[in-house]
Structure 1
Amino acid sequence: MYCNRRNPDLAYLHIKPRTSTPGPFMQKRNCKSSSQISIRVILEYTLMFLKSVFSFVCRIWNLILVLAKKNVRKVIAHQTIKYKMIPLSPLTRQRLNQVKKKVLVLDLDETLIHSRHDGVINRMAKPNTTPDFVLKVVIDKHPVRFFVHKRPHVDYFLEVVSQWYELVIYTASMEIYGSAVCDKLDKNKGILKRRYYRQHCKVEMGSFTKDLSTVHTDLSSILIIDNSPGAYKCFPENAIPIKSWFANPFDTALLNLLPMLDSLRFCNDVRSILHRNKVQHMTFQ
């Protein structure tokens, strides 16, 4: 008591709580906890980084696929394809000179090309398909855009058959549209000069039919390629059917016709070969 009264600081020291430094076990535990937190943070950041990289790679890959799909049809359509043109022998050339030059009538829509206009969804064509050319025409004082897709190999087909036949376009479409399409296909070569449009067709039971006799009076020397049997129902012996085309980039229908067309130019009467189509299309008569 005497010491506490005399030196109160000593009494204070006796009641002051004693602090102790953490032992080796506590230090190891704290270090272990901090290291686990650091590893967890590193793993989280690494995972986020990998997710970002994966997402970026996926976007780049999708972009490449979209560009590839857009260009695949053009690549296929413009690939180098040749129909082997064998030089004519003197006898064959003499035979060709003895027969009349034939007239080949060609349809447009779904035969040589396929098109759609503003406001119409083309369910047959694949989405994001780039048209070969766009036409701007005025119909009933309203501007209309047509997005036109060319059938694969149509340019090469026209180039070859124009050497064998006199080409004629006969379409049930309006002249203002059909004429613009023909100009694009002709490319100033002068191979599609003769053209017939909707006003030259006959309307029978709500459908347009094409009168080949107005194109050429000699029916033995004229043939038509059309995807619609109703269009040539009056002339089945002069017709070569072709499958309708909308969007298939691997279509080769035009190329498949070249051997037949190469042979038909040598005959006296095309109906002697094509008369078999009459039985197949009797239902349209």
Structure 2
Amino acid sequence: MKFFNLFKPNAAAKPDQLNDQPAENNPGHPPIEKEKITYSSDTTLTDVLNYIRNNTVQLGIQLNNPATDTEIEAFEAQITRLPEDFKMLYRFSNGFETDQDLFRLIPLAEIAENDLDKDYLVNDSSFHFTEYMIYSDMWSVDTNKEETNKYSIYNKTNTVVYLTNSLAEFLCVFINKGIYDGLYGWIETKERSGRLLVLDLDETLIHAAEKESGVPADFQFDKYFVYKRPHLDKFLTDISKHYTLGIWSSADDKYVTEIVNKIKPDNITFEIIWGRSRCTLKHNRTYDNYYFEKKLDKLKRKGFKLEQIIIVYDTPEKSTSNYGNAVYIKEFTGDTADEELMHLYDYLLILKNADNVRTIEKRGWRENKSGS
């Protein structure tokens, strides 16, 4: 490990910045108020990096020189392919230092040179990209070998805690709240919300039709008129305080991503947004047809236990191997008077207290909300 980073001068700092001190150490200067950047589903990594570039002094961030293509290629040859977001980050600054407890973005060569702490990685396509207090703790990225640009940022201290699949969001949390209230507070929130709620999309959260009904659609996607289930925004916002949320649909991956971007409230995140490529093709011998099944075992890699996963949808066939995890709701076909999500919310508040959701009888859940 590069312990000398504790003592090295900041090579990236300009001469006129070397005397900048916090207000308590430099009473002749007024404190510089730290600005915040609002994160939403529309916030891009370019937005965040431009914000950092324009506010380095206020943020207490000292940038390094950009990584060259040669440095990126050398890293990829030794460690793993970089998602485009991380290439953009390192082309912006090949590592950076901050005023916050020695929290830093690790330069590419340092990651490769030290082959850092594999015991704290979930697999061989992961790597640590930020650390604090001379590697007392690290935040890592789990990349997908088949689809490089699909990644998850996580922390693995005692257990694996997945935080986000957005580098922009990760940086915004640090910028706005710092290490303890921000990154560690985020981890604590995720750990408290160890229960994962997986939601289907079509006929569960939305209804998409090729023809518009007598009621105007909420939005249009491609050739479809899309209707959000009544109370959807409130349901997602309120239930996210009690569960980690995910979307898993058997529809086309691109369709799923585009629809979720349209219906997602700005103040929540989804742990997964999965489509058909994550499903398993099965054959129904009775009807001699094929269908896509959602095997919840695939979520173990994300650190979730089957006893803590609830999946909600309108089609029992698609989770035949996980009946104990499933809550089936009425099919949504555009009824503006639908109240199903409000009933579901009440029931999910009961289930969140169960040690093992698989042992709870869920048939007739609307009538029996005792959780027994």
Q: Could you state the TM-score of these two structures normalised by the residue count of structure 2?
A: 0.42
Tell me if structure 2 keeps the 8 A contact 1:239–1:274.
Answer: no
Report the equivalent of 1:16.
none
1:110 aligns with 2:199: no
Change over 3 Å in CA distance of 1:180–1:272 after alignment to 2 = same
Distance in 2 of aligned mates of 1:230 and 1:213: 17
1:151 aligns with 2:225: no
Distance in 1 of aligned mates of 2:248 and 2:358: 19
Report the equivalent of 2:42.
none
1:209 aligned partner, one-letter code = E
- Tell me which structure has the larger Cα radius of gyration: 1
- Give me the CA root mean square deviation: 2.4
Tell me if structure 2 keeps the 8 A contact 1:182–1:192.
Answer: no
1:128 aligns with 2:206: no
Report the equivalent of 2:121.
none
Distance in 2 of aligned mates of 1:187 and 1:99: 21
Distance in 2 of aligned mates of 1:259 and 1:186: 21
Higher relative contact order (CA 8 A, sep 6+): 1
Q: Post-superposition shift, 1:187?
A: 3.3
Report the equivalent of 1:266.
353
1:191 aligns with 2:269: yes
Report the equivalent of 1:214.
298
Matches within 5 A, 1:1-285: 101-117=194-210, 121=211, 127-135=213-221, 144-205=222-283, 206-216=290-300, 217-274=304-361
Tell me if structure 2 keeps the 8 A contact 1:151–1:245.
Answer: yes
Distance in 2 of aligned mates of 1:271 and 1:258: 18
Please give the per-residue CA displacement for 1:94-141, whole angstroms capped at 9, x wherever unaligned.
xxx998720000000000000024xxx57xxxx332110112xxxxxx
Please give the per-residue CA displacement for 1:10-34, whole angstroms capped at 9, x wherever unaligned.
xxxxxxxxxxxxxxxxxxxxxxxxx
Distance in 1 of aligned mates of 2:241 and 2:225: 29
Corresponding residue SS for 2:334: coil
Corresponding residue SS for 1:149: strand
Please give the per-residue CA displacement for 1:34-69, whole angstroms capped at 9, x wherever unaligned.
xxxxxxxxxxxxxxxxxxxxxxxxxxxxxxxxxxxx
Tell me if structure 1 keeps the 8 A contact 2:240–2:268.
Answer: no
Q: Post-superposition shift, 1:275?
A: 6.6
Judging by fraction of residues, say which structure has more helix: 1
Could you tell me which runs of 5 or more consecutive residues in structure 2 were left unpaired when the two chains were aligned.
1-189, 284-289, 365-372
Distance in 1 of aligned mates of 2:323 and 2:255: 27
Number of aligned pairs?
A: 167
Distance in 2 of aligned mates of 1:176 and 1:159: 24
Report the equivalent of 1:68.
none
Tell me if structure 1 keeps the 8 A contact 2:217–2:227.
Answer: yes
Q: Could you state the TM-score of these two structures normalised by the residue count of structure 1?
A: 0.54
Change over 3 Å in CA distance of 1:276–1:247 after alignment to 2 = closer
Please give the per-residue CA displacement for 1:145-199, whole angstroms capped at 9, x wherever unaligned.
3211001111111111110000010000111111011111113334224111101
Tell me if structure 2 keeps the 8 A contact 1:238–1:270.
Answer: yes
Corresponding residue SS for 1:235: helix
Tell me if structure 2 keeps the 8 A contact 1:210–1:232.
Answer: yes
Report the equivalent of 1:27.
none
Could you tell me which runs of 5 or more consecutive residues in structure 1 were left unpaired when the two chains were aligned.
1-96, 136-143, 278-285
Q: Post-superposition shift, 1:245?
A: 0.7
